[in-house]
Structure 1
Amino acid sequence: MSGSNFECVDRPWQNHYGQGTNCELENFEYNNLAEMVAKNSDRWKDRTAYHMILPNGMDKMITFAETEALSNYFAVYLREELKLKVGDRVAIQLPNCLAYPIVVFGCYKAGLAIVNANPLYTAHEMQHQFLDSGAKVLVIIDMFSDKLKQVIPNTKIEKVVLVSVADLFSLHKKILIKSVLKYVRKQIPTCEVHSVPFEETLKTGKRILNENNIDVINYWITVTLDDICALQYTGGTTGISKGAMLTHRNIIANMYQIIEMGKSKITNGQEVLLTVLPLYHIFAFTVNLITFFKVGGISVLIPNPRPLTNIKKAFEKADITWISGVNTLFNGLLNEKWFSENPPIHLKASIAGGAALHKAVSERWLKVTNTSVVEGYGLTETSPVVCFNPINGVVKSDTVGVPVPSTDILLINEEGKSVPIGEEGEIAVKGPQVMLGYWQRPEETSKVLKDGWMLTGDIAVMDQDGYIKIVDRKKDMILVSGFNVYPNEVEDCIAKLPGVGEVAVIGIPNERTSEAVKAFIVKKDSDLSEKQVIEHCKKFITAYKVPKFVEFRIELPKSPIGKILRKNLRAEELSKPHNE
């Protein structure tokens, strides 16, 4: 592929951003994320930054000023007590809790890079990620510490910091929460490796600061925009999990891009954002943790949103103005009577990402809440936002919007040539949010980064206004007798059927047609039949796209952010004899 194939000569989407949106990012205010945190902690110091709400309604708030002080203590602990150096990596394996932002911001203030890890990882997945990243410290929730004895000896981790969801709560609430988790629910195992409690690290850092009479810490003063701030591991669906090297520039650029696209509905110092998606996931990390900190918003932290009744108290105790989520969250809330009968009255807008937003869901959401849920698109490798529906401009509900400021998109064919408007092609992205590459994997990097462009593996169509409609993942495409079938289209069709709760569509081996379309459905109406599903599909999509097989299930496999995992369903099917 030559560089000439990757020249974007036109940006039709810039005419649709809406009034007041900057088409290009201007000079950054900050040299790194630590500076962003320090300056905005001071700007919003008296305002609540984080409000953690448990399912029983027990809650705790911390201010921007408290976040600043506590993250400073943690930074001092990391540098002075543990003797970490600029560029060292710290693995963080936490749910949404008050410790999470303090740990992340503390790492940045110490000049370190973070390695986000899913708390639900198996021991094998933990070992791979910790060893691959070279992390020296692990900060982990106590609920999953039973895996550490098996994992730690096979990594370079020198110190384990143990966090409780009750950390930073008042003493009597802390005792109550820990007692219930440990003795009633039996969710706190014995940690069999040497560890230090998180609150003890804060006390140590505070003591060192006081003993040395230090007013300001400046470990991060030499950190630049081009230094790595995070190794964000991909899901590993195409093989072994790889660490995307994201820089301070990548995340800060994406922060500004998100603000530009949503600023007509963002009032500095007044927003309240529901944080249901796990902060270790790149979507919530950049949108909820970073962007809303910059604008002085309150993040309402939900440690575990399952079942969805766990979120009910958050809507009762906080005046939610924004929600970020995935299709399954919005669909699930709409199916909760307590939500649909009493939708949040302060809600301004909601952001969907991570998986395709079904049109039926977005239409119902608008009807129930009288607000829009707007879809965006991104990848771990792009920090993550690439496209977003301009809230201040024209929203096209069946698209993922337009490229964000300072971002170019080309749709290319197999030969690397750009395709005409209206034709399908693979999305190639160029912008300041695109990663450096994959950590210690130059061959994998060279496959996706070409002449500064990131090849996404996603197939899309662009209209004349520059709006992007994702057709599907290249690897999820189903080939039926030589015809391309995209699961998103079939799923969207089936989701319009009133009796359908959730749906996933995959291709399964078929000797006559190469592959056949199979739909997996969770019923909302117990009377729903296979015949009804097929007859419904025949009305709206061409014959070769209509599911040949329909299977009803109690639930569908999902990722931690609630994204339905087609790959798990596909793996199950591949283990069976081929369907005729």
Structure 2
Amino acid sequence: MSDCQAYDSEPWSDQYEQPVDPAEVVPGYDNLPTLIREASRAWPDNIAFTTCMANGMNGSLTFAEVEEMSDAFAAYLREELGLEPGARVAVQMPNCLAFPVTAFGVLKAGCVLVNTNPLYTGPEMRHQFNDAGAEVVVILDMFMDKLESVIEDTRIRHIVVASVAQWFPTLVRGIMKGVLRWWNRVIPDHELPATPINRALEAGRRHIREKSIDVADYSRHLGVDDGAVLQYTGGTTGVSKGALLSHGNLLVNMRQLDQISRGYVETGKDCVVTALPMYHIFAFTVNLLLFYHHGGRNVLVPSPRPIQNCQRAIENYPVNWITGVNTLYNALLNEEWFNVYPPKTMKVALAGGTALHQSVADRWQKVVGCPIVEGYGLTESSPLLCFNPISKARKDSIGIPAPGTRVRLVDESGECVAPGEPGELIAHGPQIMTGYWNRPEETEKTLKDGWLYTGDVAVMDEDGFFRIVDRKKDMILVSGFNVYPNEVEDCLARLDKVHESAVIGVDDEKSGEVVWAFVVKRDDSLNEAELEAHCKAELAAYKRPKKFIFREELPKTPVGKVLRKELRAEVQAGNSQSTAA
């Protein structure tokens, strides 16, 4: 048997908990709006989403309400704003009731959703909006000042603004908005011509009523190959770009998740805690789409930091599922309230985004009484590629390929390596992205003959279980978020006093990794305070270096390429002290 045949024979096929029918690994629907509409009509009176604040204040929407409101928003985009099919609409919000309404509305309008991290700074927003060619942004009122600073440099023509307390009961909403604006002072003043989301919905309803519009007509032309979501990532090559995920990519990945969770999900009854942000592909596909499809209730936590923000969401609702990264689970296990009153109704916790520490998994099983099941994937794969069977999960493993997914491990020349030998994990399947938005050269580097080159090095055991052993590229994972050294180094280079820099990831108990920057000064007066202030203005908090180390020079190859691996080795050896004043 050749090395490639060792993978193509799918030794993992006997490890699925239930027989997998390849014929079921299909989208199941022509497009996402059809799935959304079917779920809405199946459970109209069930609560679909509840936003739970740290103090327990909350607001909810039923499936019927989400359906009607997202229809109205779709009509607003198409009729009031005159958007064409395929237009890009950016949604920049944390977990809140306005997120599913607007995201579903964008998809129903036949437009492309551009998920935007609300933690982005102005320069990061400018880059993403311009790269995507977004014409509309739906944004939380807390971030209007950042938008105001960059909007003139973008193609954004229309702004819709919402609140984290949107559609809460009237009295509760009034109290919260008052506290946020006048006490916490997190809602800035601005002079932008923004449309409140309620006014946008009223305009959409008026068009539907007066023109007898069937909103479903906006998306009837959409097929599985049409673009649905632009999900931004550094990819495997470190350049910020949008992975274009089609309706079929996302629908198939949901079907793959269905096969994995068969026998565990109770349709129309389950409740999931969504502490991971829905603008992240993990929570977008699993929490938002999959649980909506199954009639589940999503309890939304706007921000899981500090971790106490999750307490009311976990204690006040009969949660069966939770998705998270290692750092979130570790933080929960370090909370007294969680250990004293763990969620007794929890069935399964799903982990991804970064490596799950076995000590955390063991403690979770002991405290909660249910397993944490680790999976693996990328933004470019919608995201799931591999998973641990729930009842057969293995330690220190990303599991086996999702149904309908082919996986191989290859060497630098693209040849398959023998089982048990390390190689770059490449994957082929219907969940793999269409490509990077307007970046054919970057697409060619990552997609070769239909195979996605992940940049991660893994080994496969005799049963077909995979284990990640290293990252081929220099990407840094901070609490499940990708940080790309080139971006941070480019930021530092914009400071005149910096001659050059090199950025690496360093292991950290709380966040998995943190960013360290090695800096060569151009001006001897440069200090850490200046570097910190510069990065704070240019980068989201998780991207900012936690430590700056001044050097006279950086290790390089003969052709001048900085050797980050030598810097990492120095840190591991404990020899990373500053050598420059």
TM beyond 0.5: yes
**1:372-521 aligned within 5 A:** 372-391=371-390, 393-476=391-474, 520=508
Secondary structure of the corresponding residue to residue 61 of structure 2: strand
The CA distance in 1 between the partners of 2:464 and 2:247, in whole Å, is: 28
Paired residues of 1:6 and 1:410 also in contact (CA < 8 A): no
Q: 1:93 to 1:282 in 2, by over 3 A?
A: same
| CA pair 106-415 structure 1, distance change in 2 beyond 3 A | same
- Contact 1:25–1:405 under 8 Å retained in 2: no
- 2:328 alignment partner in structure 1: 329
1:484 corresponding residue in structure 2: none
Q: Distance in 1 between matches of 2:474 and 2:549?
A: 14
Equivalents in 2 of 1:123, 1:337: separation in Å?
Answer: 38
Match of 2:122 in 1: 123
Instruction: State the TM-score, normalizing by the size of structure 1.
Output: 0.82
Deviation at 1:150, TM superposition (A): 2.1
Alignment of 1:183-198 (within 5 A): 183-198=182-197
Give the letter aligned to residue 417 of structure 1.
E
SS in structure 1 of the partner of residue 231 of structure 2? strand
Question: How far is 1:305 from its partner?
Answer: 1.1
Is the counterpart of residue 308 in structure 1 residue 304 in structure 2?
A: no
Structure 2 distance, partners of 1:277, 1:6, is 38
Question: Quick one: distance in 1 between partners of 2:43 and 2:504?
Answer: 56
For the residues of structure 2 that align with 1:211 and 1:409, how far apart are their CA atoms? 53
CA offsets 1:283-311 (integer angstroms, 9 cap, x no match):
00000011111111111000011111111
Q: Distance in 1 between matches of 2:509 and 2:312?
A: 30
Distance change >3 Å, CA 424–CA 81, structure 1 → 2:
same
The aligned residue for residue 28 of structure 1 is 27
**Cα–Cα, structure 1 residues 19 and 6, in superposed 2: closer, same or farther, change >3 Å?**
closer
| Paired letter, 1:139 | V
1:475 alignment partner, SS class: coil
Once residues 179 and 504 of structure 2 are traced to their aligned partners in structure 1, the CA distance between those partners, rounded to angstroms, is 49
* SS state at 1:300 partner: strand
Cα deviations by residue, 1:445-482 (Å, 9 ceiling, x for unpaired) = 111111100000001111111111111211249xxxxx
Range that drifts further, 268-277 or 200-209: 200-209
Deviation at 1:24, TM superposition (A): 5.0
- The separation in 1 between residues aligned to 2:56 and 2:375, in whole angstroms, is 32
Structure 1 vs Structure 2 CA RMSD: 2.7
Contact residue 374 and residue 397 of structure 1 kept, 8 A:
no
Contact 2:25 2:252 in 1 (8 A): no
For residues 44 and 105 of structure 1, the distance between their equivalents in structure 2, rounded to whole angstroms, comes to: 16
- The answer to whether the 8 A contact 1:160-1:196 is kept is yes
Could you tell me how far 1:279 is from its partner in structure 2?
A: 0.2
CA 1:442 to 1:59, structure 2 compared with 1: closer, same or farther past 3 Å?
same
For residues 405 and 414 of structure 1, what CA distance do their matches in structure 2 show?
A: 27
Kept in 2, the 8 Å contact 1:457–1:473? The answer is: yes
- Aligned residue identity for 1:432: P
1:51 is paired with a residue of what secondary structure?
A: strand
Can you list the C-alpha shifts for 1:73-131, whole angstroms capped at 9, x where unaligned? Answer: 00000000000011110001000000000101101110000110101101111001000
Residue 39 of structure 2 aligns with which residue? 40
- In 2, Cα distance between equivalents of 1:162 and 1:575: 46
Q: Is the 8 A contact 2:119 2:541 kept in 1?
A: no
Partner of 2:227: 228
Question: Is 1:259 matched up with 2:258?
Answer: yes
The one-letter code matched in structure 1 to 2:112 is A
Partner of 1:529: none
**CA separation of 1:518/1:155 partners in 2, compared to 1, >3 Å: closer, same or farther?**
closer
Partner of 2:200: 201
Q: CA deviation at 1:216?
A: 5.1
C-alpha distance in 2 between matches for 1:465 and 1:564 = 41
For 2:269 and 2:414, locate their aligned partners in 1 and report how far apart those are by CA, in whole Å. Answer: 46
Alpha-carbon contact 1:135-1:156 (below 8 Å) kept: yes
Q: Which runs of 5+ in 1 are unaligned?
A: 478-486, 492-505, 507-514, 524-562
Structure-2 separation of matches of 1:236 and 1:389: 24
3-state SS of paired residue (1:218): helix
Q: In 2, Cα distance between the equivalents of 1:324 and 1:576?
A: 44
Q: Partner of 1:45: helix, strand, or coil?
A: coil
Tell me, in whole angstroms, the C-alpha distance in 1 between the residues paired with 2:7 and 2:127.
39
Change in 2 beyond 3 A, CA 1:12/1:67? same
Q: Distance in 2 between matches of 1:516 and 1:209?
A: 53
Percent identity, aligned pairs only, is: 46
Equivalenced residue count is 504
- Distance in 2 between the 1:250 and 1:522 partners? 33
Q: Is the aligned partner of 1:71 residue 2:70?
A: yes
Shift of 1:48: 0.9
Change (3 A) 1:150 1:575: farther
| SS of structure 2 residue aligned to 1:14 | helix
Match of 2:286 in 1: 287
Query: SS at 2:77's partner residue?
Result: helix
In the superposition, relative to structure 1, how do residues 238 and 122 fare at CA in structure 2: closer, same or farther (>3 Å)?
A: farther
The answer for the alignment partner of 1:94 in structure 2 is: 93
Structure 2 match to 1:173: 172
Q: Which runs of 5+ in 2 are unaligned?
A: 479-484, 486-502, 512-539, 555-569, 576-581
What CA distance in whole angstroms lies between the structure 2 residues aligned with 1:172 and 1:45? 25
Contact kept in structure 2, 1:92 and 1:138, CA below 8 Å: yes
1:421 alignment partner AA: P
Q: Quick one: distance in 2 between partners of 1:133 and 1:235?
A: 14
Partner SS for 2:182: helix
Residue-by-residue CA offset, 1:42-66 (whole Å, 9 max, x unaligned)? 0111111101111111111111111
